[in-house]
Amino acid sequence: MHKEDYRNKCVPADEAVTVIRSGDWVEFAWAASMPGLLDEALAKRKDELKDVNLRGGVLLKPLACLDSDPAGEHFTWNSWHLGGYERRLAQKGLAYYTPIKYSEVPRYIRENLQTDVVAIQVAPMDEHGFFSFGVTVSHYAAAIEKARNVIVEVNEDMPKVHGGYDHTVHISKVDYVVEGGHRGLPQLPSAAVCEMDQKIASFVLPEIKDGACIQLGIGGMPNALGQMIAASELKDLGIHTEMLVDGFVDMVEAGKVTGMRKQLDRGRIVFAFAAGTQKLYDFMKDNPSLAGYPVDYTNHPFIASQIDQLISINSALEIDLTGQVCSESAGSNMISGAGGQLDFVEAAYNSKGGKSFICLPSTYKDKAGKVHSRIKGLMTLGSAITDTRPTVQYVVTEYGKVNLKGLSTWQRAEALISIAHPDFRDELIVEAQKLKIWRKKS
C-alpha cells in the first residue's frame, strides 16, 4: 500500500514545483538539508512567478532560484539564521533576517505565519511509509501541519535518523515525491582551532565535571573545547544540543559520552539539526544513540533545564560593560542570528549544577587592520542584543572568566575590564567613569 502510494506521488521536480504560486510562502531549506532538484526546477519557473517568499536558514551553499533572480523581483529569501551566502545576499538587499528565539519557531509557524508549501529534502521512505527528516528535524513538522502542499525530495545519501518525535513525515501527508538519487550533503568543515581558542577553552574545561551534559555552538572555540574534552579524563558525559557537529563525534569516539546520567533521554544524544563533515553524516546513519527532536523540545529552557549539569558554551561578537551580549550583528550589519543562544543561556543557568558560558576573543581587527576591544563601554550603534544583561552568567576571554550573575553595574564593569585586553583596560575604565558605573576606591 505504501509503495503504491509512493509510486502514484512520484513525479519529476519540474512538475512538483508547479504547486508553488505567486505570493506563496515556502519552507525550503535548512543547513545541510537543501533540496537541489526542487531548487533547480523552481529557478526555471522564475519568469512565471512573483513575490514568492522562501524561508529557511544556515544555507551551506548557494540556491539556484536566488542566483537566477539577481534583482529579487521573483523570489525573496527570509532567513531564520544567516549563513555566509545569505549574509552576502542581505548586504545587497536580497535576503532578510527573521528575528527569532529558536525554541519558539514551531509556534511561530503554527500560530503566526503563512506557510503554503513545504519543499524539503528527506531520507528514503521506510517499509512503514515514513520519510526521516535526516539531518534537519528543527521545525519541519510544524511547517507540514500548516502547508497546503508538501513536496519531499528523496536523497539516497540523507541518513535515516532515529528520533524522539516529529522527526518523520508519512507518505499520506505528502503530495509529491521527487527522487533525487545520490546527491551527497553539503559539508561544513570543522573550524580551525587557534591558540586563542585553546586558551579560552582552557578556562571552561575545569568547570565541566563527570556526568555533565554538553551543548556546543559552532566555531573554533567550541571545536577546541570538544577536542579538549575528547582528550580529557572526563567520563559519562551527555549531549543535549540544538546543533550536532563533528566535535561531538570526537567526544563519542573517545569514550567520553554515555548519557547515562541524563534526567531526560537517558543514553541518547539529543539534537535539532546537524551540519558537519562526512564523518558526522556517517555517524548519524541509523544510529540508535541519536534522538532528533523538534527545536521546541531541544531548546525549550523549561525542558533542557531539567537535565542536571547542563553546560552551554556559545560565542559572541561583543559585550558591553553592563553585560549585554551581541552575538548576531556588527552594528546594524547582520552577521548570523540569535539562534538558540538565549534558550541555552537560560536553560543552563536553571539546570541543577548547570553553567552557561559566553566566550569571545578580547579583540578584533577591522578591515584597515586596526585592533578594537570586543568588550565595550556601550554597544556599537545598531548592534542587536542577543542576551540581556540579567541572563548572562559566565563570560570568558583569553584573559580569564568572570561570573556576572547578581553583580551590580560597577562590579560588572570591574569584572569585565579584568578580562579585557590589557591595552584597552585604562580606556574602558574611563568609559565606565563616564557611564557612572565605576566605583572609586581609596
Residue type, 30: W
Active-site residue set: 242
Scan for cell 551551506, then name that residue: 60
CA distance 372 to 364: 5
Measured CA distances, 190 to 116, 149, 249, 435 (Å): 35, 36, 12, 40
Scan for cell 559566553, then name that residue: 358
Q: SS3 for 298? A: helix
Beta-ladder partners of 274: 244
Element containing residue 352 per DSSP (H, E): none
Measured CA distances, 86 to 9, 91, 92, 257, 406 (Å): 32, 9, 10, 34, 38
Question: Using only C-alpha atoms, what is the Rg of the chain?
Answer: 23
Scan for cell 546513519, then name that residue: 285
Q: Which residues contact 177 (CB under 8 A, 6 or more apart)?
A: 6, 9, 10, 11, 125, 151, 152, 154, 171
CA distance 95 to 31: 16
CA distance 252 to 279: 12
CA angle, corner 183, sides to 67 and 22, nearest 5? Answer: 40
CA distance 318 to 374: 5
